[in-house]
Amino acid sequence: MQTIPPRPDWYATPLPPISASKQDNVLPRHLVDRVRQYARSLLEKENEAYTQAQQEASASSHKFYSTIATSGTLSDKISAFTLAVQESPVHNMKALESLIGLARKRSRAQAVEVLRSLKDLFAQGTVLPSDRRLKTFANQPSLAAAFQGAGSKWTEKDPLPGGLQPCHLIIWAYEDYLKEQYFEVLKILEVWCNDEIEFSRSRAISYVYELLREKPEQEANLLRLLVNKLGDPGRKIASRASYLLLQLEQAHPLMKSTIISAIESELLFRPHQSLHAKYYAVITLNQTILSKKEEKVAVQLLDIYFALFVALLKPTKDEKFQKDQKGGKFGKGGKKGKKGKKEQPKGQKPEEELREKLISAILTGVNRAYPFTNSDSERYVLSFPFSWDSIDQLINLPVSQTISIPSSASPTPRTSTRAFRLSCLSSSSHTRTRYLRIVSTGHFTSHSSIPASPLRQSRPCT
């Protein structure tokens, strides 16, 4: 006899109330494992009872289903297993396991098709709850409340304490089981996100996006998968990942801060990340749509832009190599200098162009985020992720260094480093006063031969 009525939304099954306990003691691990094992046995018996009832009610239909499941085509198997899970997820565990098993096959066409069906089940279907994450068996709050007075010597032969009934254990056991199976699906998706064929990667990240958009389960892992594809070597995949993240921000505006933090930790400031990955991360950030109510998000973006720009100020290995050639270790006309010239690494120009594009994207983001902050706030000044030494480092950059800027960010196509400094530091009266004082007095620590700024003649500082 079945304990749980068949229904698609298993999490909405009405359960008898359990008497709450005032104590919050954690149950012993061995007791939780014992109860969990007993609940799994009840769940398996529930599935067997459902299969027996279906066979008795309609023998021909059950026989047809069994034939398709064993000897049908791939499309027939996918359709049969999907319909069975949709009808009653709790009572069709084997159908779900069969679908996941088909997705593990190394055939690309088969895996993509099965993953699409699994995505439909979990994202658009009712298998997963839309308003909460799944809980493991040990994290069920009513479990601890029911077993508080039972002691740690409870066995399967003893009655269930605290008003607990078999229906509670079956639902909790299935929720625990479903959480495990869903994580298996994510591991399969991760494999196909890194496949060598671009089509497979594109389909996989699309499925990741839809799961992330529709349901909160495994949100952190799904977001990590999507963010990491910003560093995909294929430009189409990196661009699509950027587009999907922006679409996710529009679908869930409250997730903007979470998405930005994920991009910051997973890509921008993780060691050994390429400029290609950082560039697609920054163009995703600078296209984030902001409103006047989202000042914290704007400040978060500015913190990232300034910290990243300061990191880019550090000379690369190629720049150090050129500096050594011009007048460093090897001298100006020595043989070693000539020999060093031949050893100059190839492919330097594309790297420099990408670095320049990255700085341009940062400046675009700065100009787009500033209007949404209270720029004269002293709190905002103190929240900068760099010290005054780093600001002085910005001020001491050579004026001759130029940075390409898109037309949307500035009226002119190119701007000097000093203009970039003024744009960055003019957000507050405190930083602006210090900037003008240093520029007007000509105190440049590493470039003393640089001529005074035009600001010195037209706007003297006190």
- For the ranges 276-285, 422-431, 443-452, which has the lowest average pLDDT? 443-452
How long is the chain? 462
Q: What is the pLDDT of residues 385-440, one digit of tens each?
A: 444 444 555 545 544 444 444 444 443 334 434 545 555 555 455 555 554 554 45
What letter would DSSP give residue 186?
H
CA distances (Å), origin 7, targets 11, 133, 393: 9, 19, 65
Burial class (CB in 10 A: 0-12, 13-18, 19+), 80: buried
Choose between 431 and 133: higher pLDDT.
133
- Find the mean pLDDT for residues 130-154: 85
Range from 56-60, 115-119, 140-144, 236-240 carrying the lowest mean pLDDT:
56-60
Phi, psi dihedral angles at 415 (to 5 degrees):
-140, 150
CA 43/CA 62 separation, integer angstroms: 21
**pLDDT, the chain, mean:** 79
Radius of gyration of the chain (CA): 31
Q: Cα dist. 137→85, 158, 212 in Å?
A: 21, 20, 23
Predicted TM-score of the model (pTM): 0.79
- In this structure, the strands spanning 402-404 and 414-416 are antiparallel
Percent of the chain residues past pLDDT 70, beyond the cut: 71
pLDDT in tens, 201-235: 999 999 999 999 999 999 999 999 999 999 999 99
- Predicted confidence (pLDDT) per residue in 4-20, tens digit: 999 999 999 999 888 76
pLDDT of residue 106: 79
Kindly report the backbone phi and psi dihedral angles of residue 285, in degrees, each rounded to the nearest multiple of 5, phi listed first.
Answer: -65, -40
CB atoms within 10 A of CB 340: 17
Residue type (1 letter), 23? Q
What's the angle, vertex CA 245, arms to CA 252 and CA 131, rounded to 5? 30
How far is residue 286's CA from residue 70's CA, in Å, rounded to a whole number? Answer: 52
Stretch among 119-123, 149-153, 410-414 having the lowest mean pLDDT: 410-414
Assigned token pair, 435 = 């900037």
Q: Give the separation between CA 38 and CA 22, rounded to whole angstroms.
A: 26
pLDDT at 143: 87
Percentage of residues in the chain with pLDDT exceeding 90?
A: 49
The span from the CA of 143 to the CA of 38, in Å, is: 13
What pLDDT is attached to residue 26? 80
Does residue 22 carry a pLDDT above 80? no
Question: Residue range 344-357: average pLDDT?
Answer: 71
**One-letter identity of residue 195:** D
Query: Which of the two residues, 58 and 373, has the higher pLDDT score?
Result: 373
CB 422 within 8 A of CB 373: no
pLDDT at 272 over 60: yes
Residue 387: what are its φ and ψ, rounded to 5°? -90, 180
Residues 6 or more apart from 182 whose CB is under 8 A from it? 122, 128, 134, 217, 218
The neighbour count for residue 140, using CB atoms within 10 Å, is 22
Angle, nearest 10°, between helix axes 275-285 and 235-251? 30
Closest CA to 237 of 184, 200, 267: 200
Burial class (CB in 10 A: 0-12, 13-18, 19+), 1: exposed
Please tell me the distance from the alpha carbon of residue 67 to that of residue 54, in angstroms, as a whole number: 15
* H helix count then E strand count, the chain: 21, 2
pLDDT tens sequence across 30-77? 889 999 999 999 999 999 999 888 888 776 777 778 888 888 888 889
What is the per-residue pLDDT for 327?
54
Residue 324 in this model has a pLDDT that exceeds 80: no
Highest mean pLDDT among 46-55, 114-123, 143-152, 447-456: 114-123
DSSP letters, 73-126, are -HHHHHHHHHHHHHH-GGG-HHHHHHHHHHHTSS-HHHHHHHHHHHHIIIIISS
**pLDDT score, position 352:** 82
